[in-house]
Amino acid sequence: MSKNILITGASSGFGRDTAETLARAGHQVFASMRNTADRNRPHANALQARGIHVIELDVTDDASVERGVASVLDQSGRLDVLINNAGIGSAGISEAFTTEQMRALFDVNVFGVQRTLRAVLPIFRKQGEGLVVNIGSILGRVTFPFFGLYGASKFAIEALSDSYRYELSKLGIDVVLVQPSNYPTNIFASAQRPADASRGPGYGEISAIPDKMVGTLMDLFASENAPNPHDVAEAIATVVEQANGTRPARLVVGQSFGADVINAQAVSVQAQLMEGLGLGQIA
């Protein structure tokens, strides 16, 4: 059955591919992004040429989010799926990032998710059904040094997703967390790099490791053995097609680096915790 779907951060990467994949599957897709009239106009035009609606929406701005969601309802009358994909990356010595950089990172990757949920969940609750797909990362379960700030934002999405899943469990609303591995999108190429370069020399030889790690990833992404980012779009499309109440809580896509093991362990730990809190009925 065709669904009305809103995707954030859909100008490129996973968001763009997912928008196109879901549109081909027959869904009515609303691809949102910032700067649709200037910087992202070529992306907006390309999506519109494929029959995809383009919505101006900045996840760092409450009013922009509210306008964007209202625009979807004006055009469709209903919203079935929210895909929280908008995000920025970060790579480097953690100490060398300024507080302002970390605030900007969390404003998109964490606060942006809260903004869209606050705008969309009243719609889902009124309908008595809906699907939230949050795009996390394996780095929300396992930690790579020098990617710790980005990982911290994705660890936050783990907790948010779990809490919302419990709280919405009796309201007909599913919450699924997709955890992609390392894929060749522009998130690494455009990732934040430390603004306070004066901190790096204090780490000696270690200070060279972040650039080497990013370089290794870029080499992998340029090779014939590069992982295919379309895996993520296909995984999301499968989740969208599944019946309400049957979807997985989490879904690792690509090389897990042990995230799948932690996911499995967390299931029993969380179940015992919820029972201990007397909240087994919403687990």
Chunked into runs of 10 residues, the chain (283 residues) has average pLDDT values of 96 96 98 94 96 98 98 97 97 97 98 98 98 98 96 98 98 98 81 94 95 86 88 98 97 96 96 96 88
What are the C-alpha distances in Å from 223 to residues 184, 193, 226? 10, 24, 5
Q: What is the pLDDT of residue 215?
A: 86
Please enumerate in sequence order all residues whose Cβ is within 8 A of that of 108, keeping only pairs 6 or more positions apart, or say none.
59, 60, 86, 87, 88
- Give the residues across from 252 on adjacent strands: 179
Measured between alpha carbons, how far is 91 from 148 in angstroms, rounded to an integer? 8
Q: What is the pLDDT of residue 105?
A: 98
**Quick check: helix, strand or coil at residue 131?**
strand
What are the C-alpha distances in Å from 37 to residues 49, 54, 190, 206? 15, 11, 21, 43
**Backbone phi, psi, residue 5, to 5°:** -130, 130
Task: Examine the residue annotation and report whether 150 is marked as an active-site residue of this protein.
Answer: yes
- Which letter does DSSP use for residue 280 in this model? G
Across 106-142, b (16+ Cβ under 10 Å) vs e yields bbbbbbbbbbbbebbbebbeeeeebbbbbbbbbbbbe
Residue 209, judged by CB atoms within 10 A of its CB (0-12, 13-18, 19+), counts as middle
Top-tier CATH class for 4-282 = alpha beta
Catalytic residue from among 150, 164, 166, 203:
150
How many CB atoms are located within 10 Å of the residue 31 CB? 31
The residue written with tokens 């790099």 in the block is 193
Measured between alpha carbons, how far is 20 from 77 in angstroms, rounded to an integer? 21
- Break the chain into its structural domains and give their ranges: 4-282
E strand segments, 44-86: 53-56, 81-84
Six token digits for residue 163:
């809490």
pTM value is 0.96
What are the C-alpha distances in Å from 204 to residues 128, 200, 208? 57, 8, 8
